[in-house]
Structure formats: C-alpha cells, structure tokens
Structure 1
C-alpha cells in the first residue's frame, strides 16, 4: 500500500494526520544535548505553523491531547490512539524483520492492523488511531492498551511505555543514539472504536450477565481497580482546586496518594514521580523536590508489592484483599479532612451521608420525570431496543440485496452514522463482514 504520509510530501503531516480534527492541547518536545527537555503545548490550529520549527534530533509529540497546557494524566482531554513501543533491538531483532513477522503472526486476527508504524531509529512503535474518547474512558483505554502490549511482548514491547501521556518521535527527525532518521509507514486511515476493540479482543473484560459464585475474572478485577484509582486521583486534583492550593498539613498525604494511584494507572514509576512533582507544583506552597520524593517513596514500594505473589499471599493471610494500599473512602476523607460541602464535588470520595443525598436527588428527578409524563428508564430501554431491532432488520435486508455496498452508502440509506453501521455489522457476523460477504449467504 502506498505510504499515505509520504505521498503528502511534508514531514509534519505525521502529526497532522495523527491529530486530525483534534480538540485540546498537543505537546511537542525536544531533548537537548545537555539532557534537558524543551516542551511546548499547542492547540490544533497552531500545529501547521509551529511544526516546521521542530527539526533535528530527538523531537517528539504527544499521542493524546490535554485540556490545558500540562502533560499530566489528570489533564487528558481526548484519548486518540493506542500504541505499543517495541524495543526489538534489545532482543537483537531488525525492525524491518519484526514488522514482517507481526504482519504474519499478529495482524491476521490476534490484533487489528495498526494505522501507523514508526521506525524510531532502533525499534518501532505501532499506533492504532481511535475515534476520540474523553478522559472518563481512561480505565478502559488502559486495559486495551495493556492487552495490546502483552500480545507484542515477545518482540520487545515496553510495558513502561503504555501511559496516556506518552510522546513518540516525529517522522523525518533524527534519533541521536545512532544517527538514524525516523520514518513512518502509514497503513490505512480507518479510526477504530475503543469499545469495539474491547469487545472483539478483550471479551473477558465484559462480565457475563449470568451471576456466578466465586471471584471475578482477573481482567475484570484489574479494570475495576483501575477505574477506582483514576476516579480517586481526579478527586484529589479537584480538592486542590476547591481549596485554591491551600493544603498545608495535607501536602505529603496528597502527594503520596497521587504517586501511588499514578503508579497503579501507568505502571511507570519514573513517570509517576515526574507527574507527582508537577502536581506538587499546584500547591500554594509546594514541598521541596527532594523532600517530597523521599516522603512518598513507600507509595512506590506498595505498588511494587502489588505485583509480588509472595506479598499478595501475606496480605491475604492478614485479611487484606491484596498487597498495596487498600484504603477505604472514609479513611481518605478523614486523612484529608474533606468536608461535606467538598464531597458534593467529588465523584467517588464520598461518605454514606453524601450517598444518601445523591440518592434523594435522583429520586426527586425520577418523580419529576413521571410527573411530566416521561417514560421510566426500563420503558425507554425497551423502546430503544425496538428501534435497534428495526434497524438491524433493515441492515440485514440491505446487506442481502447489496452485499458489496460500502458502509458509507448503507449509513446514508438507513439514516444512521457510518460508525453505527460498522458496530452493527460486527455484532451480526464479524468474520463474514470483514471478508465482504453477505451474512445471509
């Protein structure tokens, strides 16, 4: 297939292609010869003008966007790509050979074909572009990301390069470690839908409707924990804003919790320290760098213990669900002196009183909807299911009569979006649809 990026004829099209119709701030970074990082943030409409200035050695850009010019996990605005950084050179593999190997062994059903392969100088990076999803989808995004990385571990996939704030090299810049020019191979322009990737490649992430006794499958348990960690991390960020950075007496505790939850989310201890130090900078009176790193060191130790079978076994014997810090909401609320007024702005750090208040608010809204004659949730779901069933019937008929009709034309004919057509096709007969056959033959 012709390389779409190179046909455009401009180096910066790598970034523009990746961030087409993006929303939020995009980071461009350059590592200077002194080892220091020069990092700037631009909005999408500034990229075309600014990119030509970023040339030479060790130039990078962020794969996702941020709602403000800070490359931190709690500032994620749009998740726009999945990626795997394969350090194949550590295994003595040639990147070209690895690309051919994965084409035969992985991208024929184990994983979908990536949109872009970045030949970074010594290794390569696989990039799957996705329809943008907001920060609330981060736990699901991270679960899919980690799964993709695990499947490519045998060719040197770096499990520490899976965080949402990751930056990668730009096409036609230079890797100073060996002097090679970075190049990209663009395979296709289709953007995947995150939920569809999860459903097709991570079936265990969605529990079956039938209730069964015993523990939840491991993947579901990890996904739920990651969701909790992210919600709590976002809550303490919100707490800092509510208090205008005035958190004396709680600074060490806040940094400790941030570092621990960040480690659990990104699986990258070094990056978690960097982000914690930036978080510390949000305080009205920040702690000294050396002091805060030393004071929160046990957070990293606890995170490492979570991956140690012996430590987990010991924790279970003592009555804990697992190793690490398994703090209750009430404990965190007490540690940080979170008031009832502040809890109204929290998503998960709330006590029983705030839960009752929210339940009462939901009941009031439900009563008002009934009073206005609006259908209840169950009735609404039934009505939507009927509509979906009708659309599926029409789609089946259309596919039978026009087996080679494009998704775009089908969407126009049925009055629905093209992405919805793809979703329904995947549910109907995934294998037959991918091969272009009618599901009714």
Structure 2
C-alpha cells in the first residue's frame, strides 16, 4: 500500500471567502454542521445551503460552532466522516497570559522561519485565535490518521503560546465566524491570510516524516512527497492518533476524576511520543492532559513518567524501523511495545458504557456490535431473516415443481431444472423433499 502524493500547479484552488474553506464547488462530499452550545443541537449544510449558513453567521448568536470536516447527514462522529476539509489549531493564548497580538506575532515568526505553513484563515475566537488550513478538494476519510498527525505536529510548534493539545480529533468544531463568545461577549471575526488552498501533502511536508525522528528540511514546491508504503507504519499512526483522542475523551467522560493518573500519563505520553517524536513536546502534551485532572500530579513525577514513556516509545520505534515497520511479538527482548487495547481497558478500568463513546479503545464485544450495526445500515439482514427468506424461496420452488409435475409427470429433469431456473443438483434435493 503506497501513498504517492504529487503537488501539481494545475490543481491549485483558491478561496475568496471564509466559508469556502468549509464548503465549495470542490468540497461537496458530505455535510458540515453547526453546533449550538445552549441547546446542544446540530444543523447540517451541503453545497446548496451556503446562504443558510451565512445567514446563521450573520445572526450573531452566542456560542455557535462549526465543524472542520464533513460527515454523513445527521451525524458528527468519526465513523460518519465523509471528507477531511480543514486542519485546525486552537490557540488559547490567554491561558498563558499571552495577548492575541503577541500570539499573532509569534505565529508570523514561525511562518517566516518555515516552522509552520501560513494558515488560510485566522479566526479571532474571542479570547484566543484559531488557525485554519484549507485542503484543496478535501481528502478521503482514509487519510484521517495523517490529518491528525499533521495537526499534532503543528500543535507541538505552537504549544508555547497555548495551542490546545487535545484539539486533534476529526470531529472537532471551531467557533463560527461572526457568532459571539459568551465568556466575554466578543464577536468572533475572521481574517483571510492565504487564498491558495493546500494539498494534504504540502502540509505534511512541514512535519517530521512518519518514518523518521528528526525534523526534515522544508520541501520545495513542485516536488513529490511520498508517504511510507509499509502498511505496518500506517497502521501504527492510525492506531496512535485514534488512541490519543480516546484517552483525552476518557478524561472528559470522567470529568477529570482519574484514579490511576500515573498509568494514564504513561500510556498517553507513549502514544503521543510516537506521533511527535520530540521529548519536550511529549512532556508538554502530558502536562496539558494532567492539568485537566481533578487532582493533578506533582510536576517532577509527571515529567519523569512522561519522559520514561518517551524513551520507551523511541526504543520501540527504532526497533520497529529496523524490522522494516513490521510488528513482532517476542517478549524477552525487554522492549515495551504499544499496549494492546485489552491491556489499556484493564489497566484504566474502562467501562462498557465508556467504550460506546470511544473509537479504538474497545473490546471484542463492542467491536462486533459496531460491525453488526454497520452491516445492518448497509442493508445486510440479520441471519435469522436471511434463513427465513431462504426457506421461503425453497418453499416457492417446491410449489412450482409440484405444479409442473402435476401438469406433466413425464417432464425430463433437464427441462424441469430449466423451467425452475435451478441446477440439476438443486432439483434432485427438491425431488427428495417431495
């Protein structure tokens, strides 16, 4: 499985208005949606609903959010993702006592230094800022792991000005332009910084390559960016990007009441380390997660746990790379591999109810349940219904066979099979039943 992603000038697309990052003639698969905090309601918008979306924005309602990506109508879950349209970074600079002006200046410095790309939109969210990178034509849901990888890498570059380390999920919503932030009654405004949209591979070129640990030099426009062809490597990042979101969601579901804080910190830091491959950034991500606990850990203990997790993750990654990105299961080598889901569930005592809201930290029962639900949604009947229909079909053939034999008991077997539209073998089975 190889991902070869060319950057071609003749595929360039541009935006003239902010809403074209979310829905346009080149982004028509699925529906974006707004979410209003006061009533917890979603409203979905397709290409023909742009005017309605703009009308909602003009109403200046309080605490209205807009999805970065597109989903099936009526659902905003990772399973219903239809198209990746934007990559977004939420910067809560006020939490670090950094002004919006200072945060913007730092963003400009990072852009000038080629540490991050220039965002298409900069949203003034009321107390902080949000960066939006618009993906030309949208990207397939199969590339969700890459969009989350890119987002995490960008966040690591912006963490020192308050980038939200938990804001990587594909279901994420950002404040709707021109709505109002109720926390300070400021209107959300938006600036267009770059009209040329990005390809997913252009954004990836600013990241540490999936198969490497060191930061690469900036790719030149017009070159080819090749993602590693090894399925094992893709699966590793798919697992860890989803696992990172699940662990963050678990803290939310438990309202920060975490009993095994040290265990969760280790698992989370190990997971993040494989995405960032940067020790300082890994510790910062772990620190932000710890700040959401009701009873945060001592800094020294947190740093030690996250640092050990990072070291273990890098030892694994180097061996994984030597083995051509193929997982191995020998346990006597002393290398700590990524935990299995069943181990995480046991260690963190994840309940069946919690698993219903998670993506990848689930047991076999929940996995099977989702598979059955998906098959039902696709119109595949339950086994009992299928068997019943097969019996009905057999009874129907038997009835027709009896009619044919009553009309002419001397009909040849070949003719009977032809008239019934069945094989001779099937015919003999029916004759035995008669």
Q: Normalising by the residue count of structure 1, what TM-score does the alignment of the two structures yield?
A: 0.51
How many residues end up aligned between the 2 structures?
Answer: 269
Query: Counterparts of 1:338 and 1:172 in 2: how far apart (Å)?
Result: 41
For each residue in 1:216-254, what CA deviation from the matched residue of structure 2 results, as whole angstroms up to 9, or x when unmatched?
A: xxx98xx956735747xxxxxxxxxxxxxxxxxxxxxxx
Q: Residue 270 of structure 1 corresponds to which residue in structure 2?
A: 249
SS at match of 1:151: helix
Query: Cα gap change, 1:45/1:89 in structure 2, threshold over 3 Å: closer, same or farther?
Result: same
Determine the structure 2 residue equivalent to 1:100. 105
Q: Matched residue of 1:129: which SS?
A: strand
Structure 2 partner of 1:48: 51
**Alpha-carbon distance, 1:66 to partner:** 1.1
1:183 matched to 2:186? no
Aligned to 2:135: 130
Q: Matches of residues 225-304 of structure 1 in structure 2 within 5 Å?
A: 227-228=235-236, 230=238, 264-266=243-245, 269-270=248-249, 303-304=267-268
1:15-414 → structure 2 map (5 Å cutoff)? 15-21=19-25, 22=27, 23-32=29-38, 36-53=39-56, 55=59, 56-131=61-136, 132-198=138-204, 200-206=205-211, 227-228=235-236, 230=238, 264-266=243-245, 269-270=248-249, 303-304=267-268, 306=270, 308-310=306-308, 321-322=336-337, 324-325=339-340, 335-336=364-365
* 1:7-51 CA-partner distances (Å, limit 9, x unpaired): x8xxxx53345322322111111111xxx5222222221232244
Q: Does the CA contact (< 8 Å) of 2:30 and 2:73 recur in 1?
A: yes
Mapped contact 1:263–1:300 kept (Cα < 8 A) = no
How many angstroms does 1:186 deviate by? 0.4
Secondary structure (helix, strand or coil) at the match of 1:227 reads: helix
State the superposition RMSD in angstroms: 4.5
Taking a change above 3 Å as real, the CA distance of residues 224 and 118 of structure 1, as seen in their structure-2 partners, is: farther
Q: In structure 1, how many angstroms separate the alpha carbons of the residues matched to 2:33 and 2:188?
A: 18
Alpha-carbon spacing, 1:310–1:113, altered in 2? closer, same or farther (3 Å): closer
Contact 1:16–1:48, Cα closer than 8 Å, also in 2: no
Q: Distance in 2 between matches of 1:309 and 1:100?
A: 31
Alpha-carbon distance change, 184 to 310 in structure 1, aligned in 2, over 3 angstroms? same
**How far did 1:322 drift?**
3.1
Residue by residue over 1:268-291, the C-alpha shift from the partner in whole angstroms, topping out at 9 and shown as x without a partner, is: 6237977xxxxxxxxxxxxxx99x
State whether residues 24 and 44 of structure 1, in contact with CA within 8 Å, keep that contact through their aligned partners in structure 2: no
> Could you tell me the TM-score, scaled by structure 2's length?
0.51
Inter-partner Cα distance in structure 2 for 1:103 and 1:273 = 33
Residue by residue, what CA displacement relative to the aligned partner does 1:329-379 show, whole Å, maximum 9, x if unpaired?
xxx99945999xx89x99xxxxxxxxxxxxxxxxxxxxxxxxxxxxxxxxx
Where does residue 356 of structure 2 map in the other structure? none
Provide structure 1 residue ranges, at least 5 long, that are not aligned to the other structure: 209-218, 232-260, 275-288, 347-441
Question: Is the 1:306–1:322 Cα contact (8 Å) retained in structure 2?
Answer: no
Please, which runs of 5 or more residues in structure 2 have no aligned partner? 1-13, 214-226, 272-305, 317-330, 344-360, 376-434
